[in-house]
Structure 1
Amino acid sequence: MKNKKIYSYDVTEKTTLIELLAKDTGLSKQSLKRYLNNGAVWVQKKGKKKIERTRRASFELLPGSHVKFYYDAKLEKFEELNPELIYENRHWGVWYKPANLLTQGTKYGDACSLERALEKLGKKVFLVHRLDKETAGLILVAYSSKTASDFQQIWHTDKIKKMYLAEVLGEIEDTKEVQIIKKKLDDKDSETHFTVVENRDKTTIIEAALQTGRFHQIRRHFDLIGHPVMGDPDYGNKNKNEEGLKLIAHKLTITDPITDKAFAFELDEKKRSL
């Protein structure tokens, strides 16, 4: 069996989800139950337009239903990573996301995601922003669609400030001033501000702030100026390591859109260590 495959079924007779999958995939029911629990199976009920993630093995399927199973052998078993609560009120919370935990699941599953981890804690989660899988750090989540919308309206204003620490390859001169990278990404204007925190042997610790929000912006910008982030699996040369991506979202300043109260969060020394 391939490591990754999409199974698609048009249901022609009444059955259960587990029986349908076991009949065709060759996987054991025990294995299939793990995939179901991990969120890899989707069902479109007869007469419905929406296809929904379904976890119950005994789910009854009627003729006219449609099933998709997004199989990825790597996602049957995985290291469980848990987010840590930093602060919350009834409207929103700030959590620490460890590296290698997705912010949001994919069609192949959501068990390795912050969103699912919080749902299992009884939280109704509405994502306001995301961190890359490989990036550790502070992330804000809303607990209602209204609060998420309120945050989105102020997200690109000075009422929200996010700061990142990164270890990059090579020595960048410490000018004691804010340095600016202005390079287009995906044909769009993109701007990153940074200061040098520390020069190490063959690497530099920088603190960065995004002025725009492009895909992998910090990682791509520093690669483009010849100083890729250490441990980046996708960008750069001679910057690979076994420890993982050296990029952390270590500071988050928020003005609560509901109360207009200011909050400032910063990771402790251990979590922000590079």
Structure 2
Amino acid sequence: MQNELEVIITDQTGRIDKALATTLHNHSRSQITQWLKEGCVFVNGTVSRANYKVKKGDHILITIPEVKELTLEAQDIPLEIVYEDEDVAVINKPQGMVVHPSAGHPDQTLVNALLYHLTSLSSINDVIRPGIVHRIDKDTSGLLMVAKNDQAHESLAQQLKDKTSLRKYIALVHGSIGHDKGRIDAPIGRSKVDRKMQAVREDGKQAVTHFTVLERFDQFTLVELQLETGRTHQIRVHMQYIGYPLAGDPVYGPKKTLKTNGQLLHAKLLGFTHPKTNESMVFEAPLPKAFEEVLENLRKNS
């Protein structure tokens, strides 16, 4: 059975998510944003978007979905925990591991491993994503921050939104990039051709990626990339957009590529402010062995 919340706008102004956050003190803004995404918030009988600006007299009805019982299985899956305290954890995810369960991956995910190895996880996201503040793709390796309680989750998520966290990646791309540095500012949205893909679109969300060339080979370039934003498949889409798709990428790359188990993309460096101590924390993970072996072979043949 669903519960309902009613709000009548009197003197609140601005976006509906902010207006509701100032009114519904027992519910976090992240939770309100999730309700908006799920189409649970109605303004004057119509489903509301997150960017709707409230007006005096608006009647807002929130139908709170029934809480699903957590049935995820804790699984003893090897996990490299780079750092852990009572609030946060930093994980070095291997290539090939899915972050959270989905229809095609009901178990053997990072979340299943976290439930086994960690004593607590935040509950802000839905039941299949406890502790998950941000994601990296299945075939992308590297560092992820995990929230162990809701306060930490709110802080880390806000840092991502404010672009104050630090995320650097290493990628091998097709082609020889002639300039040493670059900035890609191109909005990203769901592809109109294939709903499973993302694409650069004028009506997409702002996405900014910076890159620096680290090493050049005959037909490939090794680059370091820094994210300003965190759109789905952002690096993969942006590098394809400028003509240098990731090596091994089965979705956005060419069919004739290096033999890999997916795109050669590694989340090398992760930095954030600790949600409780305000300490600046930076972590680094070396390239996976398989990635290093590809580079060694390219060096030998160049």
Structures share fold, TM-score greater than 0.5: yes
What is residue 84 of structure 2 aligned with on the other side?
88
What is residue 144 of structure 1 aligned with on the other side?
149
**Contact 2:174 2:245 (C-alpha < 8 Å) held by counterparts:** yes
Name which of 237, 241, 265 aligns with 2:283.
265
Q: Is it true that 1:250 corresponds to 2:255 in the alignment?
A: no
Mark the CA change 1:266 to 1:122 in structure 2 (over 3 Å): closer, same or farther.
closer
Question: What displacement does 1:124 show?
Answer: 2.4
Which secondary structure state, in structure 1, belongs to the residue aligned with residue 270 of structure 2? strand
1:225-259 deviations in Å (ceiling 9; x for gaps): 11100010111224533312100000011211211
Q: Show the 5 A alignment for 1:1-274.
A: 49-52=66-69, 54=71, 82-125=78-121, 126-157=131-162, 159-175=164-180, 178-186=181-189, 187-188=203-204, 189-238=206-255, 240-243=257-260, 244-268=262-286, 273=292
Which secondary structure state, in structure 2, belongs to the residue aligned with residue 124 of structure 1? coil
**Contact 1:229 1:239 (C-alpha < 8 Å) held by counterparts:** no
**Contact 2:163 2:229 (C-alpha < 8 Å) held by counterparts:** no
For 2:90, give the aligned amino acid. V
For 1:131, give the aligned amino acid. I
Which secondary structure state, in structure 2, belongs to the residue aligned with residue 180 of structure 1? strand
Distance in 1 (CA, whole Å) between partners of 2:69 and 2:104 is 13
Mark the CA change 1:225 to 1:182 in structure 2 (over 3 Å): closer, same or farther.
same
Coordinate RMSD, CA, aligned: 2.4
Distance in 1 (CA, whole Å) between partners of 2:151 and 2:256 is 42
Sequence identity percentage = 33
1:112-131 deviations in Å (ceiling 9; x for gaps): 21111010224323111111
Segments of 4+ moved more than 6 angstroms: none
Which secondary structure state, in structure 2, belongs to the residue aligned with residue 155 of structure 1? helix
**Contact 1:110 1:116 (C-alpha < 8 Å) held by counterparts:** no
Mark the CA change 1:89 to 1:184 in structure 2 (over 3 Å): closer, same or farther.
same
Question: What displacement does 1:100 show?
Answer: 1.1
Which secondary structure state, in structure 2, belongs to the residue aligned with residue 156 of structure 1? helix
Distance in 2 (CA, whole Å) between partners of 1:179 and 1:207 is 11
- Structure 2 stretches of 5 or more lacking a match? 1-64, 122-130, 190-202, 296-302
Between structures 1 and 2, the one with greater strand share: 1
Which secondary structure state, in structure 2, belongs to the residue aligned with residue 127 of structure 1? coil
- Structure 1 stretches of 5 or more lacking a match? 1-47, 57-79
**Contact 2:169 2:268 (C-alpha < 8 Å) held by counterparts:** yes
TM-score of the superposition, structure 1-length normalised?
Answer: 0.67
